[in-house]
Amino acid sequence: MKSSRLGRSRHVWMFTALALGACGDGRHFARDDETGPSEVTENGPAHSATGGPSGTAASAAGLELVDVWGEGLELEVTGLRWGETGEIEFLVGAADPESRRPVEGLDGRAFAFAEDGRDLGTEVLFDVSKEQNLRVALVLDLSRSMVAADAVEPLQAAARGLLDALPNGTRVGLVQFASEYDLVRDFTSDLSLLATDIEALAPAMDRTGQFTNLWGALGYAGSLFEEASDAADGEGRVVVAFTDGRDNVAESDAADARARLAEAGALVYAVGLGTELDRAELGELAGPSRFAETTEPRALGPIFDDIGRRLGQMMRVRYVTPKVRGAHTLDVTLATADGRRRGGFKVAFDLD
């Protein structure tokens, strides 16, 4: 996108708008309901989700995500940033809230934009592409209880499967934790090297492997994004966290972890194994539809695979505002061709 195009008007820009791919069998994420956590069945995991942080997964100086909504669509937004002069960029994904499968057929024609309540119609300049630019922190619980549950190898296989499902060029970092947390590998795009690291993970058999420092590890993961020396402006930031228990180290609490991850602008997926989980806090951390739980180690593979596929179907949108100064609100709406599924969000922005 070149700056010389900014002066063009009355032109709808819809480059390389790609349909979304498949996203697992749809059993691995569930939206909020009034019944609370659902039961695990013999066929695999059932899941629950509770409310999550609003407006924290995508933010930048002078830009703020202030609302996300959906009717038959569930949207995920991250990587909000300024591009060239007057350009607002973000990553957005869309899935069916019941099946968790990506909604097919969405491209540039699915988008509509309004500023300050005014529909821009054909006087809009934007493009849609499959340029994800993701950085993912994989945070894995390797406490000794994983051995008792015979879950170490299933977790390793699930984490390797996640790497296979991620889009090309994704940078992934690996943190393992028990009583303490350790950076196994800083962010790298060499996912074969990371797969080797995952294969070598093993719980410690002494006191350091006995306990669960979940919130401390997640707060540490948030700091990794800020410390990344090769961080690219506008990258989507994601944390995929796995645990089989409650935090009993109390180095920090869930609120501290949420604040650290919100400050980093990270979208969080949380996966829990077993019955000793802090479901309410994990659900609040991850937000609607991104907390999954199971009691079956063999079910971790499909859950992690779904996460990778959901990340792989995100679209990069570049929008050009006609405004030159002042505080404004951009309304972004997506709709399927038949109009039966709709979703959207607002971006508050400030031009000096």
* Residue 110 and residue 27 in one domain: yes
127 close to 13: Cβ distance less than 8 angstroms: yes
Report in angstroms the alpha-carbon separations of 23 from 117, 157, 303.
Answer: 34, 18, 10
* Residue 228 and residue 142 in one domain: yes
Has residue 2 been placed in a domain?
no
The answer on pLDDT for 281 being more than 80 is yes
User: Using CA atoms in the order 42, 45, 46, 52, what is the torsion angle rounded to 10 degrees?
Assistant: 170
The answer on pLDDT for 127 being more than 90 is yes
Has residue 27 been placed in a domain?
yes
* Residue 299 and residue 200 in one domain: yes
* Residue 266 and residue 331 in one domain: no
> Which residues in 146-227 belong to E strands, given as ranges?
171-177, 181-188
What range defines the domain where residue 76 resides?
Answer: 8-130+313-351
* Residue 52 and residue 142 in one domain: no
Has residue 37 been placed in a domain?
yes
Note the pLDDT tens digit of each residue in 201-245.
999 887 777 889 999 999 999 999 988 767 666 788 999 999 999
* Residue 307 and residue 338 in one domain: no
Residue 78, beta-bridge partner list: 91
Q: Given pLDDT bands bounded at 50, 70 and 90, which one contains residue 15?
A: very low
Has residue 61 been placed in a domain?
yes
269 close to 239: Cβ distance less than 8 angstroms: yes
Has residue 1 been placed in a domain?
no
The C-alpha atoms of residue 99 and residue 162 are separated, in whole angstroms, by 19
Has residue 145 been placed in a domain?
yes
Phi-psi label, residue 197: left if phi above 0, alpha if psi -120 to 50, beta otherwise = alpha
Contacts 24+ apart (CB under 8 A), 193-201: 194/163, 195/160, 195/163, 198/156, 198/159, 198/160, 198/163, 198/174, 199/156, 199/160, 201/140, 201/142, 201/152, 201/156, 201/176
**pLDDT score of 284:** 93
The answer on pLDDT for 32 being more than 80 is no
**pLDDT score of 38:** 34
Total domains in the chain come to 2
* Residue 280 and residue 159 in one domain: yes
141 close to 180: Cβ distance less than 8 angstroms: no
Longest dimension (CA), the chain: 67
Query: Which CATH number fits the domain that encloses residue 278?
Result: 3.40.50.410
Has residue 14 been placed in a domain?
yes
Has residue 3 been placed in a domain?
no
* Residue 322 and residue 308 in one domain: no
Q: The tokens of 92 are what?
A: 């957005």
* Residue 106 and residue 239 in one domain: no
* Higher per-residue confidence, 128 vs 28: 128
> What pTM did the predictor assign?
0.76
* Residue 294 and residue 330 in one domain: no
* Residue 176 and residue 267 in one domain: yes
The DSSP call for residue 84 is S
Q: In degrees rounded to 5, what are phi and psi of residue 222?
A: -60, -40
Other CB atoms within 10 Å distance of the CB of residue 172? 26
* Residue 278 and residue 148 in one domain: yes
Q: In degrees rounded to 5, what are phi and psi of residue 325?
A: -160, 165
